[in-house]
Amino acid sequence: MSARRTRIVDLIPAAAEGANVEITGWIRTSRFGKNISFVHVFDGSTPKTIQAILTPALAEAHKGDLGVGAAVRITGTWKASPGGEQAFEVAAHTVKIVGTCDASDYPLQKKRTSMEHLRTIAHLRPRTNTFQAVFRVRHAVSWHIHRFFHERGFLWIHTPIITTSDAEGAGELFEVVATGESGEPFFGRSAFLTVSGQLAVENFAQAFTDVYTFGPTFRAEHSHTTRHAAEFWMIEPEIAFADLDDVLALAEDFVKSVAEGVLTDCADDMAFFDRFIEKGLLDSLRAVLDAPFARVTWHEARALLAEAEAQGKTFEHAVSAPGFELQTEHERWLAEEHFGRPVFVTNYPASQKAFYMRLDDEETDGVATVAATDLLVPRIGELIGGSQREERLDVLDARLAAHGLPAETYWWYRDLRRYGSVPHGGFGLGLERLILWLTGMQNIRDVLPFPRTPGQAEF
Amino acid sequence: MSARRTRIVDLIPAAAEGANVEITGWIRTSRFGKNISFVHVFDGSTPKTIQAILTPALAEAHKGDLGVGAAVRITGTWKASPGGEQAFEVAAHTVKIVGTCDASDYPLQKKRTSMEHLRTIAHLRPRTNTFQAVFRVRHAVSWHIHRFFHERGFLWIHTPIITTSDAEGAGELFEVVATGESGEPFFGRSAFLTVSGQLAVENFAQAFTDVYTFGPTFRAEHSHTTRHAAEFWMIEPEIAFADLDDVLALAEDFVKSVAEGVLTDCADDMAFFDRFIEKGLLDSLRAVLDAPFARVTWHEARALLAEAEAQGKTFEHAVSAPGFELQTEHERWLAEEHFGRPVFVTNYPASQKAFYMRLDDEETDGVATVAATDLLVPRIGELIGGSQREERLDVLDARLAAHGLPAETYWWYRDLRRYGSVPHGGFGLGLERLILWLTGMQNIRDVLPFPRTPGQAEF
């Protein structure tokens, strides 16, 4: 597209002192003075702006149209800027106003606006510094996810969004109905928006060995937390000829590789988050990348928590209570206080996990466990959930029955265990949670382009 | 993942004569004879199989479990194969049956099965030669789409799937309802599955200049054709500071770059399609890549068709009829017979196109036209539809009114024309249609992992 325009991110390293350049973009700030007038122009390709110095004549001619938000095309001479943060400067020769911006009612004025208010103008917030950084990072994360898997020979499988199955055997679903539908449903029976592509993608793992999904998933939960949205994107790799150890190795490699990629590609944006959103972010991410993730079984984790409790630590949910399950407070203590780094908890009680997770060969303390794992990460809690899948048909059938699920519904899933069944497993990871962790942003609504939550599907 | 296993595609170039190797995968074919027995193993990483030669003792020990579909782990010595197509051979030392396959009812036996039948076992068809090739190519196409945009600095924007807007102002939609919902709808008003991310992504083009969507889209059409599915994936780039010429240049560059990438990465699979699915496929694709796409206005196209008609060519829909619109027969004649290569038709009558397309500055033959384009491609017909968007608020408002659309619904879309509006445009392309064109496959159901069509949402 170089014939069309030069992006600012490409212009900066290429332009030489005295060269004639053309910049296109939108005005971030402008200042008109007696002796000097300038505008700062951004185009989204980088957090850096170009400062265009206007002659008094140019300033006089265009002053009224060069407010915040206006679109411009400026030609001029590239010159070194006399110090300060603004290192990129153009002495303007011509200014063309491409699109004016009515300053009297433009919602993005210089003053700080709240995150809440910006959500009501989600069509304009991508122009602000914070959301410029958020969506550049969101792209970089997504790109490095694909890059990671592609380099390792995984195939991206587009598992269906509309489904008549439900991976968890429960959950609050959205139903899909053709408008004006009456009588026979469009798909012949009730259809829903997917909550996970895992069961579907397992079919492909047993044909291509290494596969993954990366697509939207849905929950019709009436939660109004900072971590839940009705629509979010999920990544679910699935590998065959693999056990739980292989799943853990893949997950650790994945998290580190994607984080490294983003830190490299978005160094300026990450510095922005470190400075304005979460102090110490970069140090905290670097620490994660430099050390191996910890690993502990669920029973070991419970023992550690019990020991802390015995030594005076108070948890809202007592560790010794019958039917104990790990709560957020325990997860945070493990990752943040005890290990001080990401930790895989493995081999959860079977009663706490889904039917498809592989039953461990031996019980622990008389408790049947499954080859499941959650990856707990400081600041964010659970980042990844995964497991080895049950590949033995007789065990799977017993687990389906124990969960009260009808075997007929899972006929094709059971078929995989009849025809060349192999040990296999995978994990699921929410894209937005990964972005929250990487950026220090606090609310899932602020890392989604147009968030969908109860009562909210505008834009 | 090299610690876990070596993929066959990596093993073949790396293994040296006499080396000890281990192969994991599923049996494609097996033969047991008095003097020689062998199995062919695939793992999905390549269309190539490895032939494992079994000693009489190994064959005797495992014969009953080494049928088609069984999962195996075989160690042995790598050796050059004595000619023929099967160039990769292992003299087996050990054979481990990872998962048996009940040959008595395994649906994928050696005999050819119809595409229709394979759709009823969509969980198993990825193991067949044809669908192995289809889904490797589907991945490669998807990868090269991301690669193309990423290299050019475009950001991937995840526009919402659930929406209260509708890009076309019409169309058969799926409605989304929370299960058990009564009274107040989940999102506060009626919500639908998206038919296009274009309007939403335009917001981001006006902040980041170059952006694209790549996600699932939906149509609740009761069509039972080979080209329609209720759920399919679409790619929609959107570029700012751009006119229709820029959109055409981007589209041509995109199609050629992605096709080149797939031809390079999937040479074996593409040769398979050329040989078994569509004779002459590779020559036809090469011809497309080597020549510039043609370009003609709608009025010029109509004149060409009228001339052909005058010279005796018969069309079902007469070109001289009032309110003439290009039909498939005309599109095919233009791309296949007249130009013999892909052709952009541009500047369609405004009355035939959507409200958001930019009104051309001058009429043609007294007809108001818009800066729209369709890319017509031999064998496939329309591959891409795009346009420059209307960036002038007054013209947009007039077009909304002419289409009977309420301006209030489009308040945020109209805002873009008030605050730093810029000429911009983009196009949309159906992923499955691109794959049909590249592979010669005939039915959209056979390039989707689990197709959703009227009456069908199994798996």
DSSP string covering B140-202: HHHHHHHHHHHHTTPEE----SEES--TTS----EEEEETT--SS-TTSS-EEE-S-SHHHHH
Count Cβ atoms below 10 Å from residue B105 Cβ, excluding itself: 10
Contacts of A447 (CB under 8 A, 6+ apart): A134, A138, A432, A435, A436, A439, A441
Per-residue tokens: B86: 């099967």
Per-residue tokens: B211: 């952006």
pLDDT of residue B1: 36
Torsion (CA) A323, A327, A332, A335 in degrees, nearest 10: 50
Torsion (CA) A271, A272, A277, A279 in degrees, nearest 10: 30
Per-residue tokens: A128: 């602000």
3-state per-residue secondary structure call for chain A: CCCCCCCHHHHHHHCCCCCEEEEEEEEEEEEECCCCEEEEEECCCCCCCEEEEECHHHHHHHHHHCCCCCEEEEEEEEEECCCCCCCEEEEEEEEEEEECECCCCCCCCCCCCCHHHHHCCCCCHHHCHHHHHHHHHHHHHHHHHHHHHHHCCCEECCCCCEECCCCCCCCCCEEEEECCCCCCCCCCCCEEECCCCHHHHHHHHHHHCEEEEEEEEECCCCCCCCCCCCEEEEEEEEEECCCHHHHHHHHHHHHHHHHHHHHHHCHHHHHHHHHHHCCCHHHHHHHHHHCCCEEEEHHHHHHHHHHHHHCCCCCCCCCCCCCCCCCHHHHHHHHHHHCCCCEEEEEEEHHHCCCCECECCCCECCECEEEEEEEEECCCEEEEEEEEECCCHHHHHHHHHHCCCCHHHHHHHHHCCCECCCCEEEEEEEHHHHHHHHHCCCCHHHCCCCCCECCECCC
Q: Which helix (H) or strand (E) holds B55?
A: none
pLDDT of residue B180: 73
Compute chain A's Rg from CA coordinates. Answer: 27
- Mutation test of the interface with chain B: which of A39, A158, A193, choosing the one with the most B Cβ atoms within 10 A? A158
Angle between helices B244-265 and B281-290 (to 10 degrees): 140
The answer to whether residues A296 and A304 touch, using CB atoms and an 8 Å cutoff, is yes
Compute chain B's Rg from CA coordinates. Answer: 27
Q: Which of A456, A455, A439 has the alpha carbon at shortest distance from A131?
A: A439
CA of B197 vs chain A CAs: smallest distance (Å): 11
Q: What DSSP string runs through B212-258?
A: EEEEEEE------SSS--SEEEEEEEEEES--HHHHHHHHHHHHHHH
pLDDT of residue B51: 94
- Mutation test of the interface with chain A: which of B158, B244, B447, choosing the one with the most A Cβ atoms within 10 A? B158
Per-residue tokens: A393: 């048909």
Nearest C-alpha in B relative to A136: B155
CA distance A62 to A59: 5
Count Cβ atoms below 10 Å from residue B246 Cβ, excluding itself: 21
The β-bridge partners of B233 are B216
Tens of pLDDT, residues A212-245: 999 999 999 988 999 999 999 999 999 999 999 9
Pairing of strands A191-193, A162-163: antiparallel
**Coil, strand or helix at B59:** helix
**Coil, strand or helix at B91:** strand
Length of chain A: 459
Least confident of A270-279, A314-323, B303-312: A314-323
Q: Which of B265, B156, B246, B165 has the alpha carbon at shortest distance from B204?
A: B156
pLDDT of residue A322: 85
Contacts of B50 (CB under 8 A, 6+ apart): B8, B11, B12, B23, B25, B40, B41, B88, B89, B90
Length of chain B: 459
**Coil, strand or helix at B355:** coil
Pairing of strands A50-54, A88-99: parallel
CA distance B101 to A415: 10
pLDDT of residue A166: 62
Flag whether pLDDT at A327 surpasses 70.
yes
pLDDT band for A346, please (50, 70, 90 cuts). Answer: very high
Whether residues A123 and B159 touch (CB distance < 8 A) is answered with no
pLDDT of residue B110: 62
In B335-436, DSSP assigns E strands to: 343-346, 372-377, 381-388, 424-430
Contacts of A104 (CB under 8 A, 6+ apart): none
Per-residue tokens: A13: 């390293």
Nearest C-alpha in A relative to B417: A99
Q: Which residue has the tokens 């042995």?
A: B76
Residue A324 Ramachandran class (φ > 0 left, ψ -120 to 50 alpha, else beta)? beta
Tens of pLDDT, residues A396-427: 999 999 999 999 989 999 999 999 999 999 99
Phi, psi of B386, rounded to the nearest 5 degrees: -150, 180
Whether residues A208 and B25 touch (CB distance < 8 A) is answered with no
The answer to whether residues A427 and A384 touch, using CB atoms and an 8 Å cutoff, is yes
The answer to whether residues A65 and A26 touch, using CB atoms and an 8 Å cutoff, is no
Contacts of B437 (CB under 8 A, 6+ apart): B377, B379, B380, B383
Tens of pLDDT, residues A355-402: 999 999 999 999 999 999 999 999 999 999 999 999 999 999 999 999
Whether residues B139 and A155 touch (CB distance < 8 A) is answered with yes
pLDDT of residue B13: 87
Q: Tell me how far CA of residue B141 lies from CA of A203, B50, B70, in angstroms.
A: 21, 26, 30
Whether residues B126 and A239 touch (CB distance < 8 A) is answered with no
Q: Which of A5, A88, A90 has the alpha carbon at shortest distance from A43?
A: A5
pLDDT of residue A255: 98
pLDDT band for A1, please (50, 70, 90 cuts). Answer: very low
Whether residues A455 and B146 touch (CB distance < 8 A) is answered with no
Residue numbers in A near B230 (CB within 8 A)? 162, 186-187
Q: Which of A189, A119, A202 has the alpha carbon at shortest distance from A417?
A: A202
Q: Which residue has the tokens 């050696």?
A: B110
CA of A301 vs chain B CAs: smallest distance (Å): 27
Residue numbers in A near B172 (CB within 8 A)? 178-179
Name all contacts of A32-38 with Cβ < 8 Å and 24+ positions apart. Answer: A32/A59, A32/A63, A32/A66, A37/A63
CA distance A97 to A25: 10
Q: What is the mean pLDDT of each run of 10 residues along chain B (459 residues)?
A: 77 90 96 92 96 95 95 94 72 97 86 89 97 98 98 98 72 87 86 95 98 97 92 98 98 98 98 97 95 97 97 94 92 96 97 96 96 96 97 97 92 96 98 98 98 94
CA distance A97 to A413: 60
pLDDT of residue A110: 62
Tens of pLDDT, residues B414-447: 999 999 999 999 999 999 999 999 999 999 999 9
Tens of pLDDT, residues A60-76: 999 999 999 999 999 99
Least CB–CB distance from A176: residue in B176, B208, B391: B176
CA angle A455, A440, B210 (to 5 degrees): 75
CA of A361 vs chain B CAs: smallest distance (Å): 17
Residue B79 Ramachandran class (φ > 0 left, ψ -120 to 50 alpha, else beta)? beta
Size of interface A-B (CB pairs under 8 A): 342
Nearest C-alpha in B relative to A451: B160
CA distance B415 to A123: 9
- Mutation test of the interface with chain B: which of A4, A431, A434, choosing the one with the most B Cβ atoms within 10 A? A4
Q: Tell me how far CA of residue A166 lies from CA of A160, A173, A409, B17, B354, in angstroms.
A: 12, 9, 10, 49, 38
pTM attached to this predicted model: 0.97
Burial of residue B316 (CB within 10 Å: 0-12, 13-18, 19+) is exposed
pLDDT of residue A86: 60
Phi, psi of A185, rounded to the nearest 5 degrees: -65, 155
Per-residue tokens: A231: 């629509």
Residue numbers in A near B132 (CB within 8 A)? 207-208
The answer to whether residues A91 and A40 touch, using CB atoms and an 8 Å cutoff, is no
Whether residues A126 and B459 touch (CB distance < 8 A) is answered with no
Find the mean pLDDT for residues A171-195: 88
Burial of residue A316 (CB within 10 Å: 0-12, 13-18, 19+) is exposed
CA distance A117 to B29: 63
